[in-house]
Amino acid sequence: MLPLPRPLSLLLVAPVVLAAVSAGLVAMRRASTRRQHLPEEWALAGAWVFLVGGLVWLETALHGGTLLGFASPWTWLAAAHFGAAGFGALTVTATACRVVSKPGPRKVIRSLLVLHPLAYLTIAAGISGYPGCDEVGATLYASLFVVQLAAFLLGAPDRVPRGPGVVLGVALAVPVVTVVPALAWAWGMPLFDLPDMVRYHGVVNAVGHVGLGLAALAWGRPLPHDTPANPEPMEGRLPFFSFHLAETQVARAADAQVAPPTAGTVPGLLHAECMSVMELGSPILSAERFQVHRLAVFAAWEDEASLEAFLSATPLGRTLSEGWHVRLAFLRRWGHVAALPDLPESTEAVDPAMPVVAVTLARLKITEAPRFVSWGRPVEELVRDHPGTTLALAATRAPNIVCTFSVWRTLQDMRDMVTGRGSTDGIRRHADAMKERVRRGFHHEFTTLRFRALSEHGAWKGQRGFVPTESQ
């Protein structure tokens, strides 16, 4: 490969470095806000340092330069080693730690999180010419991979479904085999020359260990250990819901979205979505669509007491208590999202004249975003301008969370809008968009939830009393 001009190599690598640094800071913020300081969560954040280091070596390789006295092909190998043995292997070990249930094996894997960077730095010292470091580093890695696989298999890896668990097990087994030629190379008895080492050690590890391990992480989405993977059922009780709106500083709103409250950080919280408020029907590129200083939070709780404690005892809760919120009793569900399992389709018959609150929550398919906007904006305008709504807005969180919230004077008003009945201009827009969604879905998952308002608190944009009384 011919060297690139230095400005071009910097232009190619700099955005990826920025993204990696941002991802690392987000992961670090999330690790720091947990109720327990879990080593694997800090490791998932720290792993991004290796990726940034690998990108520095990659930029050097792209423009044909030297770094620390090394030129091509060592700059390419260093970039790959930082990415795979540094970022990838540490992330896979942290994932294995999340997956196992037994405390003893979990402690063993947590100790390996410390051994990873030590082994990596020892290997780096060996490459730099320090005597004995190659042998020690290779032996450390061999021990690490064998112990890691054994701890995983003996640790009850049941905090993910069987499929991703099997994939992760295969990923952990790969380096137990591929470390053999690395040991032989380090101890002066090479089984392969350098090109074959790249193929049979480097590439196989990158694909089989790191690639499969990251795939298992993305597929299984194992939860941190302070969040139950299989929470205890609520013994027939339904969650208590709330929806919040508040104006705050941009930094505080962004922080809530980067490190949202979770069941692992807030007692009694089942799930929360923190989002930026969006005006329905607003232009795609406008301040009204991206109201980054206005925060919307939709939350499910074990009970109302948990919500009260959150509002009074946490910084985010105190911010939300200065805005507006409504407390909600669940009535009906269409669709399903994994974050809110076990909600029944319906709980009770509702008088069509009763006021209701509707919330939709979805994970948008990024590839379907143009279609979604094309079909969705006319529906946004219909809901916003419908005489049956007293408050209607949307909320979003990058990259693909979409939510709508609306308060209706009566259930019948909402039904008429959904089914396209009535004399309101463009009344068929919602019904037509739903037909299009059935034809080809916009979302990975989608649900519409209907609630009865229990109580309303505070003010939004200087106004109160959005929820009608049944006599209104």
pLDDT interval class at 13 (50, 70, 90) = very high
Helix (H, G, I), strand (E, B) or coil at 238: coil
* Residue range 396-414: mean pLDDT, rounded: 94
Domains of the chain, first to last: 6-220 (1.20.1070), 240-458 (3.30.70.100)
Task: Give the per-residue pLDDT at 274.
Answer: 96
Taking the C-alpha atoms of residue 405 and residue 273, their distance in angstroms, rounded to an integer, is 13
pLDDT in tens, 286-332: 888 889 999 999 999 999 999 999 999 999 999 999 999 999 999 99
Q: Is residue 99 within 8 Å of residue 224, measured between CB atoms?
A: no
From 93, 201, 94, 183, select the one nearest 140 (Cα to Cα).
Answer: 183
Q: What are phi and psi of 181, to 5 degrees?
A: -65, -30
pLDDT in tens, 351-361: 999 999 999 99
Work out whether the CA dihedral 118, 119, 125, 130 comes out positive or negative: positive
Task: Give the per-residue pLDDT at 233.
Answer: 55
Exposure letters 403-430 (e unless 16+ CB within 10 A, then b): bbbbbbbbbbbbebbeebebebeebebb
Task: Give the per-residue pLDDT at 288.
Answer: 86
Is pLDDT at 229 greater than 70 in this prediction?
A: no
Report whether the peptide linkage leading into residue 7 is cis, meaning its omega lies within 30 degrees of zero: no
Taking the C-alpha atoms of residue 237 and residue 302, their distance in angstroms, rounded to an integer, is 9
* Residue range 168-177: mean pLDDT, rounded: 96
Task: Give the per-residue pLDDT at 14.
Answer: 95
Q: How many CB atoms lie within 10 A of CB 362?
A: 22
Q: Which amino acid is at 120?
A: Y
pLDDT interval class at 154 (50, 70, 90) = very high
Task: Give the per-residue pLDDT at 74.
Answer: 85
* Residue range 173-199: mean pLDDT, rounded: 92
Task: Give the per-residue pLDDT at 170.
Answer: 97
pLDDT in tens, 157-172: 999 999 999 999 999 9
Average pLDDT of the residues of the chain:
91
* Residue range 6-11: mean pLDDT, rounded: 94
Contacts 24+ apart (CB under 8 A), 413-422: 413/386, 413/387, 413/388, 413/389, 414/356, 414/358, 414/388, 414/450, 415/352, 416/388, 417/382, 417/383, 417/386, 417/388
pLDDT in tens, 47-67: 999 999 999 999 999 999 999
Token reading at 408: 């209706």
Euclidean distance between the first and the last CA atom of the chain, given in angstroms as a whole number: 74
pLDDT in tens, 29-48: 889 888 788 999 999 999 99
% the chain with pLDDT above 90:
73
At a CB cut-off of 8 Å and minimum separation 6, what does 424 contact? 382, 385, 386, 387, 417
Q: Is residue 410 within 8 Å of residue 388, measured between CB atoms?
A: yes
Task: Give the per-residue pLDDT at 264.
Answer: 80
